Chain A
């Protein structure tokens, strides 16, 4: 079983719609969760981090975390063609110590926003 799982997609949504990206993880002790965006040929760029259950909003992006279900999601409202990219879910096992910074990534979801 993979430690971090995402639907690889591709996920295609029309411009202006809500894109919903999902991620599950296997390590129940995981503490920190991240969403990265990666454009083709570029390195990952952090767009959201979330550490506690519930929702966290930043502009058009909302991250949702449910630790009981071991589930984290990213919603992109008013999707734009410029949002077309691969979205990587990343999990850090615990809050500090030797695991700090050691992220486990999902395989990524390819999102296409069409005009």
Chain B
């Protein structure tokens, strides 16, 4: 199994600012992902965080808005840039190991 932690657990931010979310896994994993869950909605994959190279983004998500770092096999960050109220969501880190696990999530509110 994999234990995933995320920081911060929640934040309230002002429009136009940026927030960086950290994801730490207790073991080395090849595949790490970032998902978004908007209020009352299901999960949508933002991108695959690739170790040592640029992230792979899904349709509708771009690097300028959601830059991702993956410096090693246990850690990744997601930045939500130039935030607007529409970015208010829960952001979840996920890893694929023996199965797929999700972190506890970061609840972001943008005013």
| Residues of chain A at the chain B interface (Cβ within 8 Å) | 34, 42-46, 49, 88, 90, 98, 100-108
> Which A residues are in CB contact (< 8 Å) with B42?
88, 105-108
Q: Are A101 and B100 in touch, CB under 8 angstroms?
A: yes
The residue among B31, B43, B99, B103 with the most chain A CB atoms within 10 A of its own CB is: B43
Q: Can you list 17 A-B contacts (CB < 8 A)?
A: A34-B100, A43-B90, A43-B92, A43-B104, A43-B105, A46-B99, A98-B48, A101-B33, A101-B48, A101-B94, A102-B33, A102-B48, A103-B45, A103-B100, A105-B42, A105-B44, A106-B42
> Which A residues are in CB contact (< 8 Å) with B31?
100-101
Q: How far is the CA of A107 from the CA of B42 in the complex (A)?
A: 5
Q: Mark B8-40, 1 if CB is under 8 A from A, else 0.
A: 000000000000000000000001010000000
For the residues of B in contact with A, the DSSP-based class is: strand
Q: How far is the CA of A68 from the CA of B74 in the complex (A)?
A: 39
Q: How far is the CA of A50 from the CA of B31 in the complex (A)?
A: 20
Q: Are A100 and B104 in touch, CB under 8 angstroms?
A: no
> Which B residues are in CB contact (< 8 Å) with A34?
100
Q: How far is the CA of A88 from the CA of B41 in the complex (A)?
A: 11
| Residues of chain B at the chain A interface (Cβ within 8 Å) | 31, 33, 41-45, 48, 56, 58, 90, 92, 94-96, 99-105
Q: How far is the CA of A108 from the CA of B39 in the complex (A)?
A: 13
> Which A residues are in CB contact (< 8 Å) with B95?
101
Q: How far is the CA of A95 from the CA of B42 in the complex (A)?
A: 23
Q: How far is the CA of A107 from the CA of B95 in the complex (A)?
A: 21
The residue among A45, A101, A108 with the most chain B CB atoms within 10 A of its own CB is: A101
Q: Are B48 and A44 in touch, CB under 8 angstroms?
A: no
Nearest A residue to B4, CB-CB: A43
> Which A residues are in CB contact (< 8 Å) with B90?
43
* Residues A88 and B43 in contact in the complex (CB < 8 Å), given A43-B102, A44-B102, A102-B48: yes
> Which B residues are in CB contact (< 8 Å) with A103?
43, 45, 100
> Which B residues are in CB contact (< 8 Å) with A46?
99-101
A93 to chain B, nearest CB (A): 11
Q: Which of B33, B43, B56, B105 contacts A105 (CB 8 A)?
A: B43
